[in-house]
Amino acid sequence: MEGFDVTFQRGRKRAFDDVPPQHRHCLLGVDYVHVRGLQGGDLYVTRLGWPIAEYLLPDQWFIGQKFSKVGRALAGATGAVYRVPVAHPVARRLALVVKFSRFGQDTNVTVADPKLRADTQFVRQLANAQFLPPFEEFANLVRLRASPGPTIRTKQPLAIYSPPTRYLDWELGRSAHLLNLYTHQLLDGQTTHPGSEHVRYNPERMYIHLYRWIEGLDAVQACEAGLLSNDDMEKLTDVARECLSRKGWIVLDHKPRHVIVRPSAGRKGLVRRNGQIVWALVDYELLLPL
């Protein structure tokens, strides 16, 4: 397994802003520390991820291009998404969501909601939709979290990992012209520190998002468990969509699987605040500003 040194041979990990500038990047408005593995892999850690950077290193969860046996695929996920618990000495319930980016691939998204299918503007936007590239997905999520309006709970974006393994174009199913477009957008949207190199997308490598796991059930699971009626599930999904819209955002493939709720003690109901169900949004690969 390739090794990563988050101390940069300094003996101890420094505060985010004290990391040598050649290892720091601002990409599309998001700050990262870039750690290069001994075998050529790249790990980009956000400010949110840096306090637990030691627990984001690939040897904690990524072994020989496969997950450790404790990882499990998430129910209902349309891409390669996994939950992996992490052995943290203090945060006993710490777990990662490990999500393989599908950028540059065909979306083939279908919408079941008849109200959205009747919205000509939305259908046109959906027809031209593309999965967000890795750094843009994080950038849009950070912007959503910081935007004014009602609070929307989300997973914390922690890091982006690109393993050193290289693949042929057809193995990753990516469009060459889209990769060129995304690379230009990334170059235009980054600020470099003295001594640092520009970050580019490598067409031959995978990119993996690391998010912090949110405890709970998705709305479909809550409905199947008898914690939500089918009507309430649909209403909650609409509430989440309207809340996003008020903040100036949309998820093009928004659905109940993307809305997370928390069972109350004894699993006799759902956690509420001021009479309203507490919920979180958990899928961002088609999160776009309106």
CA of 257: how far to CAs of 85, 211, 261, 282, in Å? 21, 17, 10, 9
What's residue 111's pLDDT? 63
> How many structural domains comprise the chain?
1
Per-residue pLDDT tens digits of the chain, which is 290 residues long: 678 999 998 889 999 999 999 999 999 999 999 999 998 999 999 999 999 999 999 887 765 444 444 444 444 444 578 888 877 666 667 889 999 999 988 776 666 566 666 666 677 777 678 899 999 999 999 999 999 988 999 999 999 999 998 988 778 888 888 888 999 999 999 988 877 889 999 999 999 999 999 999 999 999 999 999 999 999 999 999 999 999 999 998 888 999 999 998 877 889 999 889 999 999 999 999 88
What's residue 149's pLDDT? 85
Residue 98 lies in a domain: yes
Residue 223 lies in a domain: no
What's residue 174's pLDDT? 87
| Whether the Cβ atoms of residue 282 and residue 155 lie closer than 8 Å to each other | yes
Residue 81 lies in a domain: yes
Q: Identify the domain containing residue 195 by its residue range.
A: 16-215
Residue 289 lies in a domain: no
What amino acid is encoded at 116 in this protein? L
What's residue 155's pLDDT? 96
What's residue 74's pLDDT? 45
What's residue 81's pLDDT? 82
What's residue 150's pLDDT? 85
| CA 213-215-217 angle, 5° bins | 115
What's residue 114's pLDDT? 66
- pTM for this one? 0.90
Residue 93 lies in a domain: yes
What's residue 128's pLDDT? 74
What's residue 68's pLDDT? 45
Residue 55 lies in a domain: yes
Residue 10 lies in a domain: no
Rounding to the nearest 10 degrees, give the CA dihedral for residues 12, 16, 17, 18. Answer: 10
Residue 261 lies in a domain: no
